[in-house]
Amino acid sequence: MNAVTVRVPAKINLALSVGAPRKDGFHELATLFCAVSLYDSVTIEHCAGGPAVVVKGPHAAGVPVDGRNLAVRAACLLAADTHHDPAVRLTLHKGIPVAGGMAGGSADAAGALVAAAALWGEQLEPSRLSALAAQLGSDVPFPLLGGMAVGESRGERLTPVRSGGPFWWVVATVPGGLSTPAVFGRHDSLQDEQTVAPSRPRLPEGLLAAVETGDAAALAAVLCNDLQSAACSLRPDLRDVLAYGRGVGALASLLSGSGPTCLFLAEGSAHAAELSALINASPHVAETHVVRGPVPGAHVIAPEDAARVDLDNDAGSLAY
């Protein structure tokens, strides 16, 4: 095989409950991941002198193009594990916002694992691929799986969940990013100030039932993100964006992961398109996308579709 292209979705967290920091510095989590129809693609091909990486697409700015790139690290990890030469070039097409709380870097790493395994003709058990993914980052195993899944431990321990969806969302990006460790750090100091012992992380009651029945209004009532206060205290403009979306009719608004991307739940696809245009008018918002979830995880596609990062939703994306 000469080249392989894999399309891999962004994730959102429909609930994110954060426990106390562990001895290894990570926090114990209970989260519900949902893969949504905003995609990166990863193309891998043989390249003497590799590994090398090229980054393209609407969100290419700021992505490292050396050994710090998580997709390069993923290809090297798989090469070492399966005894291949990592003489490859990776071309990433970025449709997922960078440092936005949608696990774009993790998606690229998951995509690189799947693409490299296909290029080298390795048929790995899903559990082995997932264990390699967990070495690369807490959020890397989920995009391999896609759909919806409960995440525990530091987020890498996954249990798939059935969904009666799809649910429709508006994703709103804002200028600039947020550092995940900085948001977790602020969360810890806010907890310390409140002098409440952090409880064991748990998903809100009614969440899995709302998801299973595909009931967007019931889901709106139980969405939660423990990192939202911390992110908003680092970026007060996010409060305005979240309130703006509710003001123009979103069923609920929520920070995506550690932010700063904001999510707005819609009643359906037409409502999401309407909301997208309205939220795009907020002075703090850079761009909006209409997405649906759950969608499948990382999968091989035809190379000519590599740049079609919004494959399902071209008509629903707005940018200025």
Q: How far is CA 216 from the centre of its chain?
A: 20
Cβ atoms 220, 264 nearer than 8 A: no
CA angle 218, 13, 9 (to 5 degrees): 115
For residues 71 and 108, is the Cβ–Cβ distance under 8 A?
A: yes
Q: Which is nearer to ligand C5P, 182 or 221 (CB)?
A: 182
Write down the least CB distance from residue 137 to ligand C5P, Å: 4
Q: Interface with ligand C5P by CB under 6 A: which residues?
A: 26-27, 29, 137-139, 154-155, 180-181, 184
Place of tokens 């035809």: 302
What is the Cα–Cα distance from 108 to 244, expressed in whole angstroms? 31
Q: How far is the CB of 49 from ligand C5P (least distance, A)?
A: 28
**139 catalytic per annotation:** yes
Under 8 Å between Cβ of 150 and 202: no
Nearer CB in complex with ligand C5P: 83/200: 200
Which C-beta is closer to ligand C5P: that of 111 or that of 155?
Answer: 155
Which of 40, 94, 108, 139 is an active site residue?
139
CB of 198 to ligand C5P, least distance (A): 12
> Does 23 participate in catalysis according to the annotation?
no
Smallest distance from ligand C5P to CB 232, Å: 18
Q: Which of 11, 40, 94, 226 is catalytic?
A: 11
- Residue with Cβ nearer ligand C5P (51 or 137): 137
- Nearest-approach distance from CB 9 to ligand C5P, in angstroms: 17
Comparing CB distances to ligand C5P, the nearer of 27 and 271 is 27
Which one, 173 or 180, has the nearer CB to ligand C5P? 180
Residue for token pair 């007060």: 236
Output the six-digit token pair for 225.
């993100």
Cα–Cα–Cα angle for 61, 33, 101, rounded to 5 degrees? 25
Q: How far is CA 187 from CA 54, 155, 194, 269, in A?
A: 35, 17, 11, 34
Looking at beta carbons only, is 64 or 206 nearer to ligand C5P? 64
Rounded Cα distance between 102 and 259, Å, is 8
Task: Provide, rounded to whole angstroms, the least separation between the CB of residue 267 and ligand C5P.
Answer: 32
Distance CA 41, CA 301 (A): 9
Please report how close the Cβ of residue 131 comes to ligand C5P at its closest, in angstroms.
14
Residue from 243, 230, 236, 117 nearest 176 by CA: 236
Burial of 199 from C-beta contacts in 10 A (0-12 / 13-18 / 19+): exposed
Q: How many other C-beta atoms can be found within 10 angstroms of the C-beta atom of residue 270?
A: 11
Cα–Cα distance between 134 and 203 in angstroms, integer? 22
User: Catalytic positions, please?
Assistant: 11, 139
